[in-house]
Structure 1
Amino acid sequence: MRKIILSLLVLTGALFYFYLRSDITLTSFAWKEKAEIPTSLEFNVKGVHVRLLNSDDLETEKLKGLQMELEREIIEILEFANGDMPVVDVLTLNVTTKDGYDYLSGLSFDPELEAEEQFFYSNLTSNLFEQSAYRGRFTATGLSAYLIDGPEFLHEMYTDYADVEVASIEELFNGTTFVDQIYYGWGSTPYTEEDVEVAEATWMKVGSFSSYLIDQYGSLLYFKIYDSSDIPSDFKKIYGKTVTEMETEWKEYLSIVNTD
């Protein structure tokens, strides 16, 4: 009887031991899985320390792909600026999978696409340079459009949107008007096809006008108005023409190049 009881105790102890080992293994595996989703990713590009906050738990592979694409775009932007704009030492972006246009800190990422299939120029041109958070929306968007689409495409597409009613260039230099035109109805608020058409036409208009300034007058002058608190006033000093005069000149240029 004593041997039977002893055998049962040994067997129970063995089963309990393996149960604990199994629990430890499962716990360790769960911890390992959790550890594979980093809370952030940091790297350096041409003197800029980039910090990506992983708020929506992207897997390491996705973050690494995002890093490679951001490195490529940052290098392209900085080489284009060629030292004409002061650059931040630290660039912190909150990576989110939600739609939105939070240029102050957000970086919208679609996990269904590869990083190289997406563009982040708008976020970068709005945050890479030492500019006021409340200025530079027009110029940052214009530069990103120039880099993404290129002048020829922007000129041609704006002509196709010429019948869409969009604010004048001088009005678009006003931050409030700019946001109303290019972001109105986007994000969490339901938007109509007309809203999207206005936003697309505004993007093409800002991009085409900026491309004209950059190609005809040089990027240096463009960067001189990049962070201006009063672009219409500074525009006249830098370009020797009013914004309205330049808009007329730009439209005359489009009428020629788009008929060739």
Structure 2
Amino acid sequence: MTRPQKATADYFPHSVTCGKTMFTLENKFGNDGYAAWYKILELLTSAENHFYDCRNPDNWEFLLAKTRLSVEKVTNILNLLARLGSINKELWQVQVIRSDNLIRNLSPLYRRRKINVISNSELIALLSTETRDTRLDAIKNPHSIVKKSIVVDAEANTTTQNEPLNSEKKSNTSEQITGFLKLFGSSRATETEKAFILKAIAAGCTPKHLEILLQKKPDITSINAEWVLRELIAVKRCNDNTDTNIDEQIAELKRQYGNFA
């Protein structure tokens, strides 16, 4: 039985000509933008089927560690890359990084291997499968992908995929997730909601911060989008610095990062 060929690569083309992406990144972020982009390309090149799932808290923490940048700066860099078309905008809206340009640049490699990298539509279906094991099976057999929405009980095991949390931290995280959901009158979270809540917790946000935000913006019905997460982080910052008004804080974030919606 022949061994299946992997959809990964050991290198990617690095043009010596500075294009729009590099010029814009360096102009806005200096060397941090340059270094972050090439570290992201390294991750994408070595990843199976060349995508990186930031919904996984372990993956997100690793990306932050690899770039050695803050949550805000990495998020802002990725948002800019999506606007420039350097990463797929639709996939980044669900916190998945993929570069269509990178895949095109690697296409000669896959023609020689006589294999195909999964398409973006297949990847979107793949991301909707129910468990990690199913996702891995779907990568090997993309045509057998089953499209399912994921519902995660708020009291369920919050262990990350690569390394188990200690029982005290796991219990505290579960309690905080429950606290966030109760403010929306819910006891269950979709995978997307849970991923955003975990990122909010990682950023130091608590249900109390969400309660303050909901008093200001009662139309928010879930933590299921990046703009909600950003506004929640803005509330935390305001709460940490009582001299700063929350509206001024959010307005400043919008001036820096653009509209959140």
Under a length normalisation based on structure 2, what TM-score does the superposition of the two structures give? 0.24
Structure showing greater radius of gyration is 1
Q: Which has the higher strand share?
A: 1
Under a length normalisation based on structure 1, what TM-score does the superposition of the two structures give? 0.24
